Structure 1
């Protein structure tokens, strides 16, 4: 009767129950206890069925709504399933994370003093739910690796109170990213032929402008080196000494020296005060096709058909390094002040970046499919371009990261040159020339060089090119035995020569 009275009091006095079956109650209790023990780990709380209630049918008020308890159980199960294996970091990684969090806290303190916005959780309900789970885990003496501490204040990291807010931005999973929107290229005036200089009796294979921008040198298949006045185009001097085609020229910016290399395996140093050869650099086993001077060191780098690049001490003529690794002819060499200080392009379709101090390869770029015949380093940026048959590629230094392609010049690329105005010019074996915007890879002009009268149509190839020191004149050496000087059209404007540009998804990545 007492039991019935208690139930009536708990349920409003309108319900009565028959006395319970003691044996059935014991079985139900044992079954519930086994179920609770089996799933206690998922619910992250000790079993409450171990203690028998003082009276049967005692109505205990629920501490929280059933939906909240269900959400707690679901979130706890998910957190345990996903993060149970990573609750504890390795000691070394834990120390590193501790240091990083300390630095981050210091930065956020500084931002808060400057009036920076403190981030808040994007979903307060989820944050409160996780906080509730943290309280339960602490009560159960379990791991608190995933507990949100709930601190607030100026020195609190932005994710302290939950996920980073999304700021009510709609989903952008199907929106094209900005990186794939081609930037608009700069406008450049078109280039036109200014002067044709005749005098060589063979293909003009090498060009070099002196640092004072007063004259330039040319080397050709007639085995001579000619010095020309840059302003008037008149011949100043002819140097003879090589017994085969002159393939490379360089003028020293710090010494009155002109360096030349040829297919006769010889590398010569000319004294421009006496116009005589003062040094020979012996070592190449075959024709020498290219050379370059280091901008700050008294070092000369040459490359040729023997597949190696040799580093020479300019004064002692000693061979400092033999940079071996290419499996084909080294067709072009470039030097710069910062590492990698030496770049080589080879007919084995690779580009190598060299550590000059160690004499070893820093990296090999294998994107080209055909032999790399030309390289061009940007005068102000830490970038360079490479050219092979039908392909011109742009690279970022020092790691040699691929930046993009210059698409459209379908020819054997013999020469590349770039100036400070971000104009890249490429010369092809068939006489075609393309002018590109360095930043975007847009070809703003394409033309064909015309061979001089009396030449074969096949002798229209552009074999070498260089800009003068101002970047306002382009000098090309061609297979019709002439040297052509080009300049920009002074009368061209954006209205008379509008930019012919069709935006695309972006430059090809391979």
Structure 2
């Protein structure tokens, strides 16, 4: 690399003189006028009369700032419409005479400098603006009907009576029809509760014969029978984090079964009457039960202590659901209400009173923050966390005993008379409805859906029925949109409540 030779003294002195001259020239040009705030108040005298006089920089900046604020805040309402302005013209003469008088001390501006600036701004804006936009529709469009005075009463069509565009229902998604795959017999009473284990290998059923049976999900074979309850088993849940099975029954008992020894290891005492429903919290070691005493009880799974007594329902608590986010507990009751609970405080977050009859079933969507509730002839969908109403599922006119929904947005509802319905969760369209057939040898009156659940894949629906059987449904693999077209006709609107 070539070395940089030091410059000579002559060139150094030449550069130094150039820099000094440039600095001096810069100071002469700018520092005299703008070096201190005091110089911003005035403009130095300009020797040439041809150059127009300009405001001092500080005053010009203040005026521009004030003009911008006034225009943004008051431009749209500065003037009346022409009709009102003409009407007020007669009364304004007296007002002008009053304005000419010297204002009282209270009416004088606190800052005369700002007042003069505002007067100058108003004069400029009036000269520059042709017409007022006060009280008119912004943007493009016709002039409002009352812009030129009150509209005379004539026999002309009024826009207030024009029918608004009706709500257009979204087209429902196509779902394959479901068909009966297997019927499992073995219980000696109504099958009132079902639960699928997290590994999707087996499921448990509880019935009116006071037993809990464990079945292989793939083959439908009986693996185990647990006895211990002395009344109908109404609720079951399998813990995803522990080898525990929880059960509740009409004998007021809530039991925790160890699935490694198949024995009861804990009892949860506290309910005053039959326990009809049970749910496990997905992340906390907490158990929630509800029953005929009208309260939902929150239990510590380990210590068996009763953390909360969620009281507020005036009837039997028929179903309880837990989820990770608020409302962490949702309960349905035969008093026709659904309550959402704050689990930390043990208090009600909200009460849904839209149902007319007792609410017997709840179903929370596995991926969406929504849930459904079912009562006699009515299924309603709600949005969490506030519990706002979304839509009705209309058409299943029976006592709804059970609801279940899977990740494919298929909602299943089972009726007390054996009727089953499959719905599209998004739009509320019922794409399949039929009657379940009671097993041979049983009464037709025993055709009734008591419980239901989807397995972990959502491709198998397990139903417990009043004819003492467990029926497993699956979607038809051969069905396509051509062989089973979507039967859907949009309606003009949908009923709100």
- Partners of 2:377 and 2:400 within 8 A in 1: yes
Residues 79-132 of structure 1, C-alpha deviations (whole Å, 9 max, x = no match):
xxxxxxxxxxxxxxxxxxxxxxxxxxxxxxxxxxxxxxxxxxxxxxxxxxxxxx
Q: What corresponds to 2:369 in structure 1?
A: 382
- Partners of 1:257 and 1:272 within 8 A in 2: yes
- Partners of 1:40 and 1:46 within 8 A in 2: no
The 1:140–1:481 alpha-carbon spacing in structure 2 relative to 1, beyond 3 Å, is same
- Partners of 1:149 and 1:160 within 8 A in 2: no
Q: What corresponds to 1:58 in structure 2?
A: none
The 1:140–1:328 alpha-carbon spacing in structure 2 relative to 1, beyond 3 Å, is farther
Q: What corresponds to 2:96 in structure 1?
A: 46
Matches within 5 A, 1:58-77: none
The 1:48–1:390 alpha-carbon spacing in structure 2 relative to 1, beyond 3 Å, is closer
The 1:358–1:498 alpha-carbon spacing in structure 2 relative to 1, beyond 3 Å, is same
> CA separation in 2, counterparts of 1:462 and 1:244?
20
Matches within 5 A, 1:339-358: 339-358=326-345
Match of 1:423 among 410, 423, 438: 410
> CA separation in 1, counterparts of 2:300 and 2:200?
26
The 1:165–1:344 alpha-carbon spacing in structure 2 relative to 1, beyond 3 Å, is same
Give the superposition deviation at 1:174. 3.1
Give the superposition deviation at 1:507. 2.4
Q: What corresponds to 1:250 in structure 2?
A: 237
Residues 280-331 of structure 1, C-alpha deviations (whole Å, 9 max, x = no match):
0000000000000000000000000000000000000000000000000000
Larger mean Cα displacement after TM superposition, 497-506 or 481-490: 497-506
The 1:473–1:49 alpha-carbon spacing in structure 2 relative to 1, beyond 3 Å, is closer
Q: What corresponds to 1:174 in structure 2?
A: 162
Match of 2:431 among 421, 427, 444: 444
Match of 1:502 among 467, 489, 492: 489
Q: CA RMSD in A?
A: 3.2
Q: Which runs of 4+ in 1 moved over 4 A?
A: 38-45, 48-51, 138-142, 147-151, 159-163, 166-173
Unaligned runs of 5+ in 1: 1-37, 52-137, 152-158
Q: What corresponds to 1:223 in structure 2?
A: 210
Q: What corresponds to 2:69 in structure 1?
A: none
- Partners of 1:46 and 1:140 within 8 A in 2: no
- Partners of 1:464 and 1:476 within 8 A in 2: yes
The 1:299–1:42 alpha-carbon spacing in structure 2 relative to 1, beyond 3 Å, is farther
Give the superposition deviation at 1:165. 1.5
Matches within 5 A, 1:138-153: none
> CA separation in 1, counterparts of 2:204 and 2:138?
63
The 1:373–1:150 alpha-carbon spacing in structure 2 relative to 1, beyond 3 Å, is farther
Give the superposition deviation at 1:47. 3.4
Residues 258-282 of structure 1, C-alpha deviations (whole Å, 9 max, x = no match):
0000000000000001000000000
Q: What corresponds to 1:269 in structure 2?
A: 256
Match of 1:434 among 421, 424, 443: 421
Q: Tell me, what secondary structure is at the counterpart of 2:445?
A: helix
Residues 205-233 of structure 1, C-alpha deviations (whole Å, 9 max, x = no match):
00000000000000000000000000000
| TM-score normalised according to structure 2 size | 0.71
Match of 1:474 among 440, 461, 478: 461
- Partners of 1:148 and 1:162 within 8 A in 2: no
Unaligned runs of 5+ in 2: 1-87, 102-117, 145-158
> CA separation in 1, counterparts of 2:301 and 2:140?
62
Q: What corresponds to 1:411 in structure 2?
A: 398
- Partners of 2:281 and 2:324 within 8 A in 1: yes
> CA separation in 2, counterparts of 1:468 and 1:399?
29
The 1:40–1:197 alpha-carbon spacing in structure 2 relative to 1, beyond 3 Å, is same
Q: Tell me, what secondary structure is at the counterpart of 2:97?
A: coil
Give the superposition deviation at 1:442. 0.4
- Partners of 1:45 and 1:140 within 8 A in 2: no
Say whether 1:324 aligns with 2:311: yes
Give the superposition deviation at 1:506. 2.7
Q: What corresponds to 2:170 in structure 1?
A: 183
Say whether 1:165 aligns with 2:126: no
| TM-score normalised according to structure 1 size | 0.70
Give the superposition deviation at 1:505. 2.0
Matches within 5 A, 1:182-201: 182-201=169-188
Give the superposition deviation at 1:43. 6.8
The 1:43–1:455 alpha-carbon spacing in structure 2 relative to 1, beyond 3 Å, is farther
Matches within 5 A, 1:227-306: 227-306=214-293
> CA separation in 2, counterparts of 1:364 and 1:229?
40
The 1:421–1:160 alpha-carbon spacing in structure 2 relative to 1, beyond 3 Å, is farther
- Number of residue equivalences: 379
The 1:445–1:41 alpha-carbon spacing in structure 2 relative to 1, beyond 3 Å, is same
> CA separation in 2, counterparts of 1:491 and 1:298?
43
> CA separation in 2, counterparts of 1:190 and 1:49?
83
Q: What corresponds to 1:55 in structure 2?
A: none
Give the superposition deviation at 1:404. 1.1
Q: Tell me, what secondary structure is at the counterpart of 1:395?
A: strand
> CA separation in 1, counterparts of 2:472 and 2:411?
16
Residues 180-202 of structure 1, C-alpha deviations (whole Å, 9 max, x = no match):
11110000000000000000000
Residues 4-48 of structure 1, C-alpha deviations (whole Å, 9 max, x = no match):
xxxxxxxxxxxxxxxxxxxxxxxxxxxxxxxxxx97765795139
